[in-house]
Structure 1
Amino acid sequence: MLIDRTLTILFLRLATIYGIICIFSFSILTEEKRFSLIVEVAAVKGSSGYLQYALYDQASSFATRQGQLLSGRVPAVFPVTQFRIRGLRSGTYALAIFHDANSNSEFDQGFLGIPLEDYGFSNDAMGLFKAPNFSDAKFNLRQHKNKIKLTLKR
């Protein structure tokens, strides 16, 4: 009787440990790999202010404030600024960036919306009097493709 009870307790403990190991192993196997994107921005005209960026993953919301997957800013470094965006899943993205030289966190525009600050998009995509299409600016982030270069323009 004592042996049966001891074996039952031992079996329950082993079953519990086995269950925990299975759950932990499943969560490790199903965890999606995350990548870093290295962004190199050329033609930065000075080291004042910041480069403000926005990353998008949807064509329908590209180049809108509401559609940003994530955004941030990094100190401007003349003549080339390089930074890293971490924790991204493999997929298709587009990047918009501008040099906020006066650090007011706004993309300054003059008369008729003419840009007063330098800006750029991934693939150096440009639109005519507007932001380019997502399809022109998109890039694929994969394990072997994790660096993009763009040039600021006005």
Structure 2
Amino acid sequence: MAIKAFRSHHRLAMMMSIMAGMLSLSAYAANVTVTVDGLRNANGTVRLKLDGSEAGWNNKAQAAATGHVKAAVNAVSYTFSDIPPGTYGLRVYQDEDDSGKLRTNMLGIPKEGYGFSNNPSVMGMPSFQQVQFTVTKEDISVVIHLKHGI
């Protein structure tokens, strides 16, 4: 009987310890608020992808987080909640026709607005190093200016 009570108490203590650890991890997570400006119209949805590694950036690993918000004329904001400290890169586009994909022409030039964290001025897809920013335990804001291909 005493052994059973000890095991039950031990399990409860372990579960409490695990839960406390999980709560302390979220105390070190931050919110990343993204403002996307330069929207030409209120058509469709602004889609956001937050990658936490170069592999994620190159579509070889799962995104750290994704989000979407209804488009509006000029600017929209979206907040990623409880993002653990680390290095991240953001890409966004205005999915004007809600197709779930960035429309391009035959040459691969985007027909819809798109942008990246740090707003690099490059032709084509920037590298993870060009778009990366650091998340600590403090909330941060990122502004992305949409570019328009054609």
Distance 2:11 2:55 in 1: 43
**In 2, Cα distance between equivalents of 1:61 and 1:85:** 17
Segments of structure 2 that go 5 or more residues without pairing to the other structure are none
Which is worse superposed, 28-37 or 144-153?
A: 28-37
2:135 to 141, 146, 151: 141
Per the alignment, do residues 104 and 12 of structure 1 end up closer, same or farther by CA in structure 2, a change over 3 Å counting? closer
- After TM superposition, what 4+ stretches of structure 1 lie above 6 angstroms from structure 2? none
> Which stretches in structure 1 are left out of the alignment for 5+ residues?
1-7
TM-score, length-scaled by structure 1: 0.79
What pairs with 1:85-104 in structure 2 (closer than 5 Å)?
Answer: 85-104=80-99
Structure richer in helix, relative to its length: 1
Alpha-carbon distance between aligned partners in 2 of 1:148 and 1:40, rounded to the nearest angstrom: 6
State the Cα distance separating 1:18 from its structure 2 match.
Answer: 4.5
User: Alpha-carbon deviations, 1:51-106, whole Å to 9, x = none?
Assistant: 11211111134153x53413332211221100112242221111111011121111
- Greater C-alpha radius of gyration: 1
Quote the RMSD (CA, aligned, Å): 2.2
Deviations 1:7-57 (A, max 9, x none): x75x964x4564245313421342222332211111111111011121111
Counterpart mapping for 1:10-29 below 5 A: 13=5, 15=6, 18-29=9-20
Where 1:19 maps in the other structure, the secondary structure is helix
Is residue 2:31 matched to residue 1:36?
yes
TM-score by length of 2: 0.81
Whole-Å separation in 2 of the counterparts to 1:102 and 1:12: 62
Aligned equivalents of 1:119, 1:29: Cα separation in 2: 41
Tell me the secondary structure at the aligned position of residue 110 of structure 1.
coil
